[in-house]
């Protein structure tokens, strides 16, 4: 019994001694418990000539302050906003720093409840947008499934391409859920991918969604959970806008370097894919479509880029298709508007298909100009070879299915002739095709370019297909799609 009491007494005295030791420790050691910091981020959002935007998710409900400077050493600290993270917002915050010089580097750092994040000591650098026509680079991609690939080597290639902007074209997570907590969890996991972090912290990120981050696979405007999904989306991105005040969604316009980008919401107001394809069937909904037409007509940019989750060509005009290929009536209505209003310079970028594609809708055959659709997919997901059963109006380049990939648009508006140069890059950063170069003169009513821009092999395959043969040299089995553009005159 004595031995037991002695051991207990020794334990008690040891506890007292430890308490005394902690009591005499520096205050900083005591404050290490529950240290305020970033859970995810920072991530740079929508840019402008006089501002930059930063998103972060804090580790708790406390004030967060952004500081910035024109030099890395912060010799002159400039105070940005202080915002308070709230539990109801999942502690997500978006800062906007105003009154800056255009086309200028700025360094920024964040303090959490007055303290520096002990896991992020180095400040981050970003750059404001040019104030007028410029030369710049835009990378884009879609289909980023962390459940498939948590390492995601494609981001090494993206960083090597040194884009000024990065666009997420949907399926940015594979939530496939109606639970906001599940969507937030996957966004959080995606924001801490090591190879991605330098890009997030320095390069403006802009995003739309597609079905897997909107809801379930192939989900549409009937979803009873769409308002909750939109609430999550608005928490985790730092876009310049989300729809309009009286029309919810994720669509918005972003101007940069003399180019106008129109980001489209192809889910919130979408009719079911199985609905008859007529004038009543819509991807965008009446209000968003009116917004798009109004903004396109008002734009004076030499290039106007439509940004969509699904592709614009007829490639997926097939059973189970989920792109504009099964909404051709509305697609052609928009393209007719572009022709009839003499709106030049429109090109399209898209994702979703799990293939790299470069297709064209030959609108020169109906009095307009040829509209090019540049598709990058996937970023981190299994590539697919759906091309063997699909036929767009025109393939400008063969499909890329050998690896994950990223698209790159290089704009140069500084010379007498503005140019857009497009390439697709594989996981190592190598361009997989010959580049496509477009000028505003190529994108003017009455001008035909697709036959000059297409690879000769793709032209031979197209002629074989139009003559009734298989596109790749074999006849399609029963049940495969017909030639929607040539047989149904969908253009």
* Torsion 409-413-414-416 (CA) sign: positive
Residue 310 CB neighbours (<10 A): 29
Residue 318 exposed, middle or buried by CB count within 10 Å (0-12, 13-18, 19+): buried
Q: In terms of DSSP bridges, do strands 115-116 and 124-127 run parallel, antiparallel, or are they unpaired?
A: unpaired
* Cα–Cα dist 356/92, whole Å: 33
Q: List CB contacts of 139: < 8 A, sequence separation 6 or more.
A: 158, 161, 163, 165, 166, 167, 406, 407, 408, 409
* Cα–Cα dist 472/270, whole Å: 33
Helices (H), 118-224: 154-161, 180-190, 197-202, 211-214
List of domains in the chain = 38-87+98-127 (2.60.40.380), 135-488 (3.60.21.70)
The per-residue pLDDT for 24 is: 43
* Torsion 197-202-203-206 (CA) sign: positive
What's the half-sphere exposure (Cβ side, CA atoms, 13 Å) at 259?
32
Beginning with the edge strand found earlier in the chain, give each strand of the sheet holding 436-438 in spatial order: 205-208, 165-169, 135-141, 406-412, 419-425, 436-438
Beginning with the edge strand found earlier in the chain, give each strand of the sheet holding 38-44 in spatial order: 38-44, 52-58, 92-97
Q: List CB contacts of 21: < 8 A, sequence separation 6 or more.
A: none
The per-residue pLDDT for 486 is: 55
The per-residue pLDDT for 468 is: 86
The per-residue pLDDT for 40 is: 98
* Cα–Cα dist 210/379, whole Å: 14
Q: List CB contacts of 4: < 8 A, sequence separation 6 or more.
A: none
Residue with tokens 């030791």: 21
Q: In terms of DSSP bridges, do strands 52-58 and 63-69 run parallel, antiparallel, or are they unpaired?
A: unpaired
For the question of whether the overall pTM of this predicted structure is more than 0.85, the answer is yes
* Cα–Cα dist 131/133, whole Å: 7
Helices (H), 162-241: 180-190, 197-202, 211-214, 226-236
The per-residue pLDDT for 161 is: 98
The per-residue pLDDT for 10 is: 38
What's the half-sphere exposure (Cβ side, CA atoms, 13 Å) at 27?
0
The per-residue pLDDT for 414 is: 98
* Cα–Cα dist 446/201, whole Å: 44
In 3D space, the residue among 321, 443, 332 whose CA is nearest the CA of residue 386 turns out to be 321
pLDDT along the chain (491 residues), means of 10: 35 41 41 79 98 98 98 97 98 98 98 95 97 98 98 98 98 97 98 98 98 97 98 98 98 98 98 97 98 98 98 92 96 98 98 97 98 98 90 95 98 98 98 98 98 97 89 65 53 42
The per-residue pLDDT for 29 is: 38
* Cα–Cα dist 193/220, whole Å: 29
In 3D space, the residue among 73, 129, 68, 132 whose CA is nearest the CA of residue 104 turns out to be 129
Residue 238 CB neighbours (<10 A): 26
Residue 28 CB neighbours (<10 A): 8
């Amino acid at each position: 019994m004595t031995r037991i009491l002695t051991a207990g007494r020794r334990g008690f005295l040891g506890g007292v001694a430890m308490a005394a030791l902690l009591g005499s420790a520096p205050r900083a050691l005591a404050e290490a418990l529950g240290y305020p910091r970033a859970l995810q981020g920072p991530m740079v959002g929508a840019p402008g000539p006089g501002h930059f935007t930063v998103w972060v998710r804090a580790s708790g409900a406390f004030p967060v302050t952004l500081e910035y400077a024109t030099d890395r050493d912060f010799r002159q600290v400039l105070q940005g906003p202080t915002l308070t993270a709230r539990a109801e917002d999942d502690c997500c915050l978006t800062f906007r720093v105003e009154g800056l010089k255009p086309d200028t580097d700025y360094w920024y750092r964040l303090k959490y409840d007055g303290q520096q994040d002990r896991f992020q000591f180095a400040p981050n650098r970003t750059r404001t947008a040019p104030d007028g026509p410029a030369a710049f680079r835009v990378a884009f991609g879609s289909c980023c499934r962390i459940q498939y690939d948590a390492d995601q080597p494609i981001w090494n290639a993206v960083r090597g391409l040194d884009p000024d902007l990065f666009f997420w074209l949907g399926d940015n997570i594979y939530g496939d859920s109606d639970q906001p907590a599940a969507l937030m969890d996957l966004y959080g996991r995606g924001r801490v991918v090591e190879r991605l972090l330098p890009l997030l912290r320095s390069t403006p990120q802009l995003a739309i969604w597609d079905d897997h981050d909107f809801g379930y696979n192939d989900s549409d405007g009937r979803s009873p959970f769409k308002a909750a999904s939109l609430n999550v989306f608005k928490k985790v991105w730092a876009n310049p806008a989300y729809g309009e005040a009286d029309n919810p969604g994720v669509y918005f316009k972003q101007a940069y370097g003399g180019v106008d980008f129109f980001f489209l919401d192809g889910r919130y107001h979408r009719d079911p894919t199985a609905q008859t394809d007529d004038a009543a069937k819509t991807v965008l909904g009446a209000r968003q479509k009116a917004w798009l037409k109004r903004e396109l007509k008002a734009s004076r940019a030499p290039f106007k880029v439509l940004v969509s989750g699904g592709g614009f060509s007829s490639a997926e005009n097939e059973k189970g298709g989920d792109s504009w290929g099964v909404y051709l009536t509305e697609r052609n209505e928009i393209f007719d508007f572009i022709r009839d209003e003499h709106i030049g310079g429109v090109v399209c970028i898209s994702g979703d298909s799990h293939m790299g594609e470069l297709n064209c809708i030959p609108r020169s055959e109906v009095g307009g100009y040829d509209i090019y659709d540049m598709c990058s997919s996937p970023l981190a997901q299994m590539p697919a070879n759906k091309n063997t059963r699909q036929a767009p109006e025109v393939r400008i380049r063969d499909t890329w299915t050998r690896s994950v990939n990223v698209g790159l648009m290089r704009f140069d508006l500084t010379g007498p002739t503005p140019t857009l140069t497009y390439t697709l890059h594989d996981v190592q950063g190598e361009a997989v095709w010959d580049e496509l170069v477009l000028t505003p003169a190529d994108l003017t009513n009455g001008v035909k370019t697709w036959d000059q821009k297409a690879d000769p092999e793709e032209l031979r395959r197209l002629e074989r297909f139009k003559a009734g043969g298989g596109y790749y040299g074999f006849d399609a089995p029963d049940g495969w799609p017909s030639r929607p553009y040539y047989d149904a005159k969908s253009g």
